[in-house]
Structure 1
Amino acid sequence: MRLTEFWRRMRAHFGDPYAESWARDYVIAPLGGRTVEQALAQGVSAKEVWRAVCQVEDVSSRLR
Structure 2
Amino acid sequence: MRYREFGELVDEVFGPAYGRALVREQVLPRMEDRTPEEALEAGVEPRDVWHALCDALDVPDARRWGRDPHRQAPPPR
TM-score normalized by the length of structure 1: 0.88
| Bigger Rg, which one | 2
- By percentage of residues, which structure has more helix? 1
Structure 1 unmatched runs, 5+:
none
Structure 1: distance between partners of 2:8 and 2:59: 13
Task: Tell me how large the CA RMSD over aligned residues is.
Answer: 1.4
State the aligned residue count. 64
Percent of pairs identical after alignment?
36
Q: Deviations over 1:10-29 (max 9, x none)?
A: 11111011111111011111
Q: Hey, which bits of structure 1, 4+ residues long, moved more than 4 A?
A: none
Between structures 1 and 2, the one with greater strand share? 1
